[in-house]
Chains A and B, each alone.
Chain A
């Protein structure tokens, strides 16, 4: 499975269409294969990320807030979207590959007040 995550520093970027950094990783079963690729985009555009996701044959997108049009487009392209995720992207991927990441998840490490999930 190929996963695309919109990132900002070490976290899932708050907004899909405002992300300028993309992480792409491949998984097999519950393992990450090889090193994840980080792509810096020349600007911020939801359309460009959608287009990149289709070109790269992505199976799953993990992101923060996403507009309905982008969400529906990705769904139409048969890409699973887990949106509204808050927290470190590494944890998001870990949860996703064991099928334990839900839309709107506030991951451990997202808040400085205790750990939330």
Chain B
């Protein structure tokens, strides 16, 4: 009797397996799956591959598979062709470039598919994102790998301490900071360190699209939802299922969409545009903005409930002018990076150049510094970068009222292995605008001295400096 029951249960399972919708099954997997016919045309892709490549399955049906995954397999002796000609499964490593122009290292498993009759039916290609493994490999071998966030200033150390905490939880994170301070990098780092790292990290710029398009981009739409909607679109929430959705410039979101996002955060489900069937998703939200959301709430432009829902964990990235200790580190980092990439033999910046660079205000923060260094390395034909190799706009913009450098280590000439001995007069480049670091530093010192009622030891502690450094800076700024 028991044996009969077991056999019946087994037969039920066999029947069930035959009736399974294979694509739905592959949709739940954490690697990309591509089915191609013998002519290498796409028969089907799973949801993970949609996220990995940026294409949805309907639009690439029948398209040559290589156009969808954009791998470097063709340079590896055509393994797909070999797999289609043989019975052998091939495993190899390479990379793909997605629609966002990002190159991802991938492990490919190419399995030929044959019918019972022996006829070749095509191949199944599994794509496993091995970015994390590559990062780990880099870490083991002493490289900084994915750790692209650079800084050893006190304010950045605070951020580094908060990152693992943000990565361990599943709570929403709000990253604030001026433009160019590295909000995207921090969001990606949190995702990579989190338990969701094997799933997609998808970034949506809420300020880049008009409201109606953004709604469709985020929540997807069904065919016929509006003019031009000739096929279903999954939307970023669905594509990020299991992973992280990074909503940048959240402060630019309309009130209508704010309500819809709040609903997804609370219910973990939503209706696609024009759809009548709810879609359930498991997505972590990381939001970022350069705006003051608290102020927007006060002005009635941002919903208070969404603000509190997003503001569970808050990371504020300091502007470059408040990261004095990191300036030289970042400058050297970008200089070495571009010198290597552009294969130049430049030794460094002249003193005059460093003075201009260090007294500039950097409203565009680290991104602006990076662009300036890239420009200078590109333009400089000699061994030392001179002021004339800097972007002209930089020379025209106002600098600190002080014509001297605000960085003690640069003034002393220490830690300047890449500078030239002869320096030039800066008179032509200085202006009186109070926007530079010298002014900020002066204000910082004054503020901390006011706070500590003139106690220099306590003020130095507040600033994270030694007493002697504070004394030197006080003298430098004429605050005695």
Contact = CB atoms under 8 A, between A and B. Distances in A.
A21 interface: no
B62 A112 contact: yes
A106 B60 contact: yes
Interface string B407-437: 0000000000000000000000000000000
Given A64-B67, A110-B67, A18 B72 contact: yes
Interface in B73-121: 74-75, 96-103
B101 A64 contact: no
Given A112-B62, A116-B59, A14 B99 contact: no
Contacts of B59: 106, 116
Interface stretch (A25-33, A65-73, A89-97): A65-73
Sorting the interface of chain B by its residue count into under 10, 10 to 19, 20 to 34 or 35 or more gives: 20 to 34
A5 interface: no
B61 interface: yes
A83 B39 CA distance: 24
A86 interface: yes
B70 A15 contact: yes
B249 interface: no
Contact of A111 (B63, B71, B74): B63
Given A18-B74, A65-B101, A67-B97, A86 B67 contact: yes
B184 interface: no
Contacts of A110: 63-64, 67
Nearest to A84: B99
A83 B175 CA distance: 31
**Chain B contact surface mostly:** mixed
Sorting the interface of chain A by its residue count into under 10, 10 to 19, 20 to 34 or 35 or more gives: 20 to 34
B66 interface: yes
A109 B103 CA distance: 27
A64 B62 contact: no
A36 interface: no
A11 B249 CA distance: 38
Contacts of B183: none
B221 interface: no
A49 B126 CA distance: 30
Nearest to A16: B97
A15 B39 CA distance: 19
Contacts of A104: 99
A106 B101 contact: no
Given A112-B62, A113-B62, A14 B67 contact: yes
A14 B66 CA distance: 6
Top 10 A-B pairs, shortest CB-CB distance: A113-B62, A65-B70, A65-B97, A111-B62, A68-B101, A86-B67, A112-B62, A14-B66, A111-B63, A14-B67
Given A64-B67, A65-B98, A83-B101, 17 more contacts: A14-B66, A14-B74, A17-B97, A18-B72, A64-B70, A65-B70, A66-B97, A86-B63, A86-B64, A110-B64, A111-B61, A112-B39, A112-B41, A112-B62, A113-B62, A114-B62, A116-B59
23 contacts: A14-B70, A15-B71, A17-B72, A18-B75, A44-B75, A64-B67, A64-B70, A65-B98, A66-B97, A68-B101, A69-B341, A71-B101, A86-B67, A106-B59, A106-B60, A106-B63, A111-B41, A111-B60, A111-B61, A111-B62, A112-B41, A112-B62, A113-B62
Interface of B: 39, 41, 59-64, 66-67, 70-72, 74-75, 96-103, 341
